[in-house]
Each structure stands twice: as C-alpha cells, then as structure tokens.
Chains A and B, each alone.
Chain A
Amino acid sequence: MDIKELIGPIELPRLVLFLPELIVLITAFVLFTLDLILSGRSKRIVLPSLSAIGYVLALMSVGVSAQFRGDTFYGSFTNDALASLVKIFALLIALTVLAFAGRYFSSKRSFYGEFYYMLAFTLLGAMILASSYNLIIIYVSLELVSIGFYILTALLRGSFISKEGAFKYLILGGLSIALASYGAVFMYIYAGSIDLREIFTYEGEDYHYLVLGIVFFLIGFALKIGAVPFHFWLPDAYQGAPTPVTAFMASVGKLAFFIPVVRIMPLIQEKFSLTWTLTVGVIAAATMLYGNLVALVQKDIKRLLAYSSIAHSGYILAAVAVTKDIGMKAVIYFLVVYAVMAAGSFFVVAMLERAEGWENRIQEFSGLRFNLPYLAFGFMIYMFALLGVPPTVGFVGKTLVFMALSFDQLWWLAFVVILSTAISTGYYVRLVVLMYMKDREKEVRVPQRGYAEALSLVFLTILTVALAVVPEVIWSLVAPASETLFAR
C-alpha cells in the first residue's frame, strides 16, 4: 500500500497560523515551571520580564501569521483578519497589565507567581476563542479563559470580597458554559456538524433545533459578557478581583467572549434575522438601561466601572442586532476600543489603590486634580471616552452604532441608546466635576510610581484619542475583519 494513500487524510498542521498561540503556550509552561523552581526574590524579576518577552514575541508573530490566512487542525482553528485584530489588542493589553501588576501586588504586601502563568493561560484561551468556528474548540477555550479568570479573581486570598466575587463568578460561569454547550448540542443535532459555518449554511428541515441551539448558545455567552438579566456575577467579580485583573477581564475577557457571537452574525440567514434582531435587541436595550441606571447610584469606583462595563455590553449588543456589514464593523471597532478604554480606566484605579488610605470611594476623587494632575487628566479622558464625547474612541463607537441602527431602521433601539447615554452622563460627568471643580478632600499620594506604568497609561490614553482622530489606522484592520467574514 502506498504510504501516501495511508496518510492522505492526515493533514499536517500549518503551525505558522498557530504561531502566536504557540509562543504564549510555551511562555505559560516556562513560567509555570520557573515558578516552581525559582526562589522568591528572583521570581519577582524573572517572571514578569519573561512574560513580557513572550508577549512581545507573540505580538511580532501575529504579524508573521497574518501573512498566511486559512484553517488548520482540520478546520478547527481559523486564522483570519478578525482573529489577528483581536490578538494584537489582547497581547498589547496583557503587556500593560504586566506593568501594573507587580507594584499592585507588592502594595498589598504579597507576590503571586501563579498570577503570571494564569495570565498567560487566560490570554491563550482568549486568543484561541477568538479564532475558531469549531464548537468543541470554542468550548475548550471558553473553559480555559473562565478557569483562568476564576483563579485570578480569587488571587487575593486574604480578602473576603475577592473570594465572594470569585465564587459567584465560578457558579454563574459554570452555568453559562453548561448552557452554551447545551446549545452546541442542539446545533449538532440539527446539522450533524460541529463547525459553525456548516451549521448555519445547512439547509435542514426541522430548524427549531437550530433556534433552540442559538438561544442557549446566546444565553451562555450573554452570561459571560454580563448582559442583563445574566449580569449578577459581574459587579462582584470586578470589585473583588485585584484591579489589574479586573482591567484584563473587562478588556480582553469581554473582547474574547464577544467574538464567537460576532462570528455568527454574518451567518444568520434571512429567515432567522428578525428573531435574532429582536432577541439581541431586547437584551441590548435591557442591558444598557439597567447598567447605566444602577451605575448612577454606585459609591464604589470599581463597581461603577463594572456597571458601566455592563452598559457597554449593551451598546455593543445593539450593533450585534444588525446583521449587516456596517453592524459588524461597529461591533468590532467598539469592542476593540472599549477594551482600551476599560483597561485604561481600571489601571488608573489600580494606581490610586496604592495610595495610603484609599478606599475606592467615589467621593475620594474630589480635587484629585490638585494632588495628581496627570492621573486626573488621564481619567478625565477615559470618562469622556466612555461617555462618548468627541474626539475619543467612544464617540466613534457610538456613531458607528447609530449608523448601524439607522441602517436597519431600528429607531426604537437607537432611542434606547440615546436614553441610556443620557443617564450615563450623570455619573461620568460627576467624576470629572469631582476631580476638577471640588476642593480636595485629603492628600492622595501614590508611592513608587514606575516608568512602565506611566508609559502604559500614556500609551492607552493616546490610543483612546488617536484611534478616533486618525481612524484610518485601525480601520485598515477592522474593515477587512468584517469584509472577509461577509464575503463568504
């Protein structure tokens, strides 16, 4: 027998497509091993710097793998423009997380080696989740991300709220994965395939299985992205987690969890499109209204930003309801820039938390401008960006959402967006007013500010404005990401 015939169906994996993930995977294992071997003091230097080197290498390899598009591992791993875009921002934000983590944990008088490899594993999960159509791979990577987040949330072992948040997240996260996989089962029953592309192009007769599958799948992911009414874990987890981890959850986590939903968007057929629009639209409306209303009465800055994160899930979902090219572009752009805004605003909180006697109360922001002018300025930009004031990325995101909604004539949803943004004005502007127009309440001094932190924060702040003022740069990534999916 000819050997070629024998191994014919065996496809050699095109590892070049998988290169960024491979590098992060190796980094994670190396970090894991070193954490066991090294002594306490050398760990503090070796682990962060090794992670940084790994992420930078991975970031460069995204550029390499972007040259080669296509599927590998029998079609279960897809490297396309959308995946590359997500990976670039996930890696960039992971790098900035590293910059803040060290000093944050040492201000809590602790060091956790597991932070570094768990971060790497979570990042790996997020990257794979962003680049797959395969239900099994989606399930596995979803678990990888989630388990990483459970552990990272509970990292501050001494803190009660940290444990509470992690426990809530664990239970509801488990539920969400169960629901999503249940939905996956129904989809498999319908089409006899585990590839989303094949499932949605399959012309089966009893498509109530598919509808059931989509609904469960959507509910599973709605839980993960914190859409109302599945949001209960989110504020607790965000508040309880160490703040750099919260930043990572709010940015990369949200980005990755949205991607499977985004990948379904262009596959929705005409006959389901109304169902999809209505379901997603109603969830979106409830999410943004609820998130903003509750954020209005928060007293803790981390909870406030958590509810604002819920509200932003709503804005993005509003665009998800529009299964057209413009809707998808709005979703992708808003997701990416929300990651930047959320990471930046949580990082500011992470820095402030190191100050003596800082309790994360909103009132403590009074007169921050006099104590920490640069930090206050940065935070002001994030607040205006989250509110959607030009010329920041939040504004461009909202404009794109409006364009998408008016493209599909979803006027009611557009008015809900306006209403909820109106509500959100209350708390974003209050923070600006507190920082700049009130007298200072107490001295706030952040000890031991480092260059890496400052650089990361400046970088993110510049991104927040630059991606809006010079949109052509990011648009050259966003447009192909959407267009290649719609071209199929």
Chain B
Amino acid sequence: MEVVRGDFPFVSLSIILPAVSALLVVLLRERYAKAISVVGAGITFLLSLVVLYLFDYSRSSSVQFYEEYSILKEFNVKLALGLDGLSLIMYFLTTLVSLVAILWSVRDKQISTRLKEYYVAFLLSESFLVGVFASFDLIVFYVFYELTLIPMLFAIGIWGYKLRLYSAYKFFIYIFVSSLFLLLGIASVSAQHYFQKGSFSFSYFDLLKLSYPEGLGIFFFLLFFIAFAVKTPLVPFHTWLPDAHGEAPTAGSVILAAILLKMGTYALLRFNVGLFPEATIKLMPFMVAIGIITIIYASWMTIVQNNVKRFVAYSSVSHMGFIVTAMFLLNHEGLRASVIEMFAHGMTSASLFMMAGFIYNRLHTFNMNSLRGSVKFMPLFAVIVAITAFAAMGLPGGSSFWGKFLTILSAREYSYTLALLVLVGGFFSAAYVLYMLKTLFLDVKEESILIHFKDIRGVMLVSFLFLIVPILLIGFFPHLFFSMFDGSIGYILRHILRLE
C-alpha cells in the first residue's frame, strides 16, 4: 500500500478540533454549549470538504494526508493517521452526520438537562470516530474503536428513554466483550509478525505483508470477525441493537445507526478481508450466508415492530445484511455496492431516526398505532419522509438503489439462486418501508390533534437537508462517490488474489 505524506495535518486536526470544542464546552458556561458545538462540528465539516477537494482521486488506493508519530518504538506502535479512498468516504460520513446530529439536538425538546455533558459526549464521539476511520495502526484503531463506546454509553444512559439504563449496559457489555476478541486477535497478529519478521508490529502496512498457515489464518479471522459481527451487527449477534437504538436519544440513534454500525462493516473490509485474504476466500460462503440470513430475518422482524424506533433499528440490521453480503461476494461490483451502501444507509437511517424524533416531539409516543396519519398536516416534512423512505427502499434515484442493484448484479455472477435470495431480501425491505409509509401517510386518526402540528422549519429543516442532498446526489450522480473509493477497492481485490 502506497503512502503519501501530507503537507498539513488535516486528519489529526479533524480529530483535535471536536475534542478542543468539547474542552471549551466544559470550561465555558452552559448557555454557550450549543453555539460552540455547532461551530466546532461545522468547522470540522468544512475541513472535511477541504480534504475532499484536495484528495488525489487518481491515486485513491494510496493512503494520503499520512501522518505518523511514534508511540512505543519497541512494539512499533505508531499514531499512523491517513486517508485512502475507503477511509475518505467514511471520514466524510462522520463529519457530516456528526454535524447533523449536533444541529438536530439544538432544537430537540427531549434534551433539556445536563447540556454541557450532552454536547461533550457528541463532540468527543465525533473526534473518536474520525480516529477510527483514519488510523492505520491496529492498536490506535482499537483505542479509538473502544473510546467511541464511552460517549454512547453516556448518551444512552443519561438522555435515553424509559429502559435507558438496561440498554446502556447491554450496549456496553456486548460491544466491549466482543472487542476483547479483537484485542486478542490484534495481539496475536503482532506476535505472528514477530515470528515471521523478527519484531513486533501493529502497523497495518506491515501486517498486510504477512501470510498465515491455514488454520491459524481462519482462527485470527474469526477473532476479528466476532468483534465486528457484534458491532455491525449480524444475526445472531444483533440483539443489543434494537434496545440501544430504541432507547437512545434521537441524536444518539443517528450517530449509532449512521456511523457506529459502519465501523463494523468498514473494519470487516479493512481488516478481515485485508489482513486474512486466504481465510476470507475460504470462509466466503459462510459470510454470504450470514449476510443473507441477516437481511431476511431482520426484514421480518422489522415488519412486526410496534415501536417506530425499533422499526428503523431492525431495518438498519437488514441493510447491514446487504452490506456484508455484497462485501463477501468479493468481486468489484459487490465491493462497490457494499461501500456505497455504507454511505447511503448512513444518510437514510439518520434521516429516519430524526423523523421518529421529530414526531415524538409532537406526539410523545413511538407507538406505530398512535402515529397513524401523523404527517398529514405537515407537507414539507411529509416530502422529506417520503424521499428518505423511498431512498431506503431502493427506488432508483434514491441512495440505496445502487447498493441493492449492484449487489444483485454481482450475486448473479455466482448463481441466479443467490441473486434471487438477495432480491427476496430487497422485496421484504420494500414491504416494510411501504407499511411504514402507509401508517404515516394514509391511515386516519382524529384530526383534531394533528391539525395543531407545526410543519418542520428552521434548524431542523436544515439538518434534514444535509441528509437529503447527499441522498439525491448518490441516486443521480453515483460516480461522484464511486470515484472516491474505486481505487481502494481495486487494491483490496488485487490484494486478495495476492497480486499486490
């Protein structure tokens, strides 16, 4: 993997900026908290736009803006930060969605207490998430990966809904325990580096060069996989997710669904596929099977949910199934589908959770039955919901279309049965989205309550627009996004076949 050093530390600046804003929030008075966090997240977002502009797309397989600071020489632990095409799109997703989440919180009526801590949690989680996607050292990656847990633990536990403590516990225990396997995996991989090359190393670039005996390779693959399967989550490791997403405050659910889950899929692609190509090829059928089971099982679970947040949560799981299925088809179209779907799902799930939060602010319930016809007198909001929902369903012109279409296309290269299975999954996802739309738009409820609802406006509208624009952009101009990471995907594919 090629490395291009940057002239200016853009990446570490994007990690430091939110953290510094968090520090300011702590130090200054509570009434400045909102302004500081919006400005902090906003500047970070602008910075990411600059990075997007400066990125050399003709060499997207190489790691650009690379920085390196030694932490511990003996084990070759380095704070190695950089962005290749795959990291870049995730990094952009992080800064965008974090800004949206913070903007949303400004007017969220549920957030009324302990404002300082709230914004500190979200700013810190942005900073850690950037770290996750930008680090090319396994220990540093792990540190950021674990650190993202803590702000979310607090977000769910303090500002969540009724079952918040239970959900916070469950969330923390699931992810923390599963990532211990990852830690063991990382430690053993570095020990393998010692056996093969004579020194410990945690550097991603060094570890790419290793190859393992077959049994050991599969063992390491599974150690990494357990952590990322829980994080993603894949059935049967998904049970923490509906609780965590259902009970978290709106902005927390947004961050969870849009970015935290992507940590799992991103890491599967970066580490599992990247570091253990032989094991990946060996285990490919199982992974695809797990992906398809996840799609279908989660879709069924979605349809029967009565709580709109849990509904969106399960639909996220089924999308994760698409991403993983596409990823482990291990061909060019499949990987493309997987990565574009990671971004697209970030947009739609964030938007759907904000929709749930918006209605909750008006109706004070997440119960599907009570939501009947709730968008009737809010035309602008209804349009936003419709665009998001159709995009999530996979309608052409929406963001998820390319993910689903390309997945089916690449599954067809193996067999028509496989393609048909994916198609069935797509059918179910259409079913639940249409069911939701029907509930929200067409079912009748006493209009006397609904008529007083004010339509969406102001900051909330802006935060929705930040998501709607990319949704449509992906739908109509997918090549804008494909060009970001096509190079990286090509590199990964060549690496799997040991051509590079």
Contacts and interface: CB of A to CB of B under 8 A. Distances in A.
Which of under 10, 10 to 19, 20 to 34, or 35 or more describes the interface residues of A? 20 to 34
Contact of B143 (A391, A403, A475): A391
Contacts of B158: 436-437
Given A390-B146, A475-B72, A406 B184 contact: yes
A402 interface: yes
Contacts of B184: 402, 405-406, 414, 418
B196 interface: no
Contact of A406 (B147, B150, B181, B187): B187
B150 A471 contact: no
Interface string A402-423: 1101110000001001100110
Contacts of A390: 142-143, 146-147
Task: Please indicate which of the listed interface residues A407, A422, A479 has the most CB atoms of chain B within 10 Å of its own CB.
Answer: A407
Contacts of A443: none
B188 A422 contact: no
A407 B194 contact: yes
Given A403-B200, A418-B177, A418-B184, A433 B194 contact: no
Which of under 10, 10 to 19, 20 to 34, or 35 or more describes the interface residues of B? 35 or more
Contacts of B70: 472
Contacts, number: 87
Contact of B164 (A387, A405, A429, A437): A437
A104 interface: no
Interface string B138-162: 0100110011011001100110000
B164 to A, nearest CB: 7
Contact of A407 (B154, B181, B191): B191
A405 to B, nearest CB: 8
A437 B168 contact: yes
For the complex, would chain B's binding face be called helix, strand, loop or mixed by DSSP majority? helix
A403 B191 CA distance: 7
B180 interface: yes
Nearest to B159: A437
Contacts of B200: 403
Contact of B181 (A398, A418, A430): A418
Interface string A449-488: 0000000000000000000001110010001000000000
Nearest to B219: A411
A425 B146 contact: no
Contact of B188 (A387, A402, A475, A479): A402
A134 B457 CA distance: 80
A281 to B, nearest CB: 16
Given A399-B187, A407-B191, A425-B176, A433 B139 contact: no
Given A429-B169, A433-B169, A421 B191 contact: no
B212 interface: no
Contact of A437 (B74, B75, B157): B157
B187 A389 contact: no
A426 interface: yes
A384 B150 contact: yes
B146 A422 contact: no
B188 A433 contact: no
A471 B71 contact: yes
A150 to B, nearest CB: 38
A407 B188 CA distance: 7
Interface string B48-76: 00000000000000000000001111110
Contacts of A471: 71-72, 77
A395 interface: yes
A384 B147 CA distance: 11
Nearest to A400: B187
B165 A437 contact: yes
Contacts of B176: 387, 389, 422, 425
B16 to A, nearest CB: 14
A482 to B, nearest CB: 11
A402 B72 contact: no
Contact of A426 (B73, B139, B154, B173): B173
A102 B116 CA distance: 36
Nearest to A432: B153
B71 A472 contact: yes
B184 to A, nearest CB: 5
Contacts of B157: 433, 436-437
A405 B191 CA distance: 10
A158 B181 CA distance: 49
Contacts of B20: none
B172 interface: yes
Contact of A475 (B74, B139, B146): B74
Given A399-B183, A418-B180, A437-B157, A429 B73 contact: no
Interface string B183-204: 1101110110010000010000
Nearest to A408: B191
Interface in B342-377: none
Nearest to B149: A389
Contact of A479 (B74, B147, B153): B74
B149 to A, nearest CB: 8
Contacts of B169: 429-430, 433
A414 B219 CA distance: 13
A7 to B, nearest CB: 46
Contacts of A391: 143, 147
Interface in B322-352: none
B206 to A, nearest CB: 15
A391 B181 CA distance: 17
Contacts of B75: 403
A417 B149 CA distance: 21
A433 B165 contact: yes
Task: Please indicate which of the listed interface residues A403, A418, A475, A479 has the most CB atoms of chain B within 10 Å of its own CB.
Answer: A403
Interface string B114-148: 00000000000000000000000001001100110
Given A384-B150, A390-B147, A403-B190, A398 B72 contact: no
A437 B168 CA distance: 10
Contacts of B164: 437
B177 A422 contact: yes
Interface in A316-355: none
Interface string A352-384: 000000000000000000000000000000001
A390 B146 CA distance: 7
Contact of A472 (B73, B149, B181): B73
B416 to A, nearest CB: 42
Contacts of A407: 191, 194
A373 to B, nearest CB: 10
Nearest to A426: B173
A425 B172 contact: yes
Interface string B279-311: 000000000000000000000000000000000
Given A403-B190, A406-B188, A436 B154 contact: yes
A346 B443 CA distance: 60
Contacts of B147: 389-391
Contacts of A414: 184
A437 B155 CA distance: 10
Contacts of B172: 425, 429
A429 B143 contact: no
A421 B180 contact: yes
18 contacts: A384-B150, A390-B146, A391-B143, A398-B183, A399-B139, A402-B188, A405-B187, A406-B187, A417-B180, A418-B177, A421-B177, A436-B154, A437-B154, A437-B157, A437-B158, A470-B71, A471-B72, A479-B74
Given A399-B139, A403-B187, A472-B70, 18 more contacts: A387-B176, A389-B176, A403-B200, A414-B184, A418-B177, A418-B181, A421-B177, A421-B180, A422-B177, A425-B172, A425-B173, A429-B172, A429-B173, A433-B165, A436-B154, A436-B157, A475-B72, A475-B74
Interface of B: 70-75, 77, 139, 142-143, 146-147, 149-150, 153-154, 157-158, 164-165, 168-169, 172-173, 176-177, 180-181, 183-184, 186-188, 190-191, 194, 200
Q: Lowest 8 CB-CB distances: which A-B pairs, in order? A: A406-B188, A402-B187, A390-B143, A437-B157, A422-B177, A403-B187, A418-B180, A406-B191
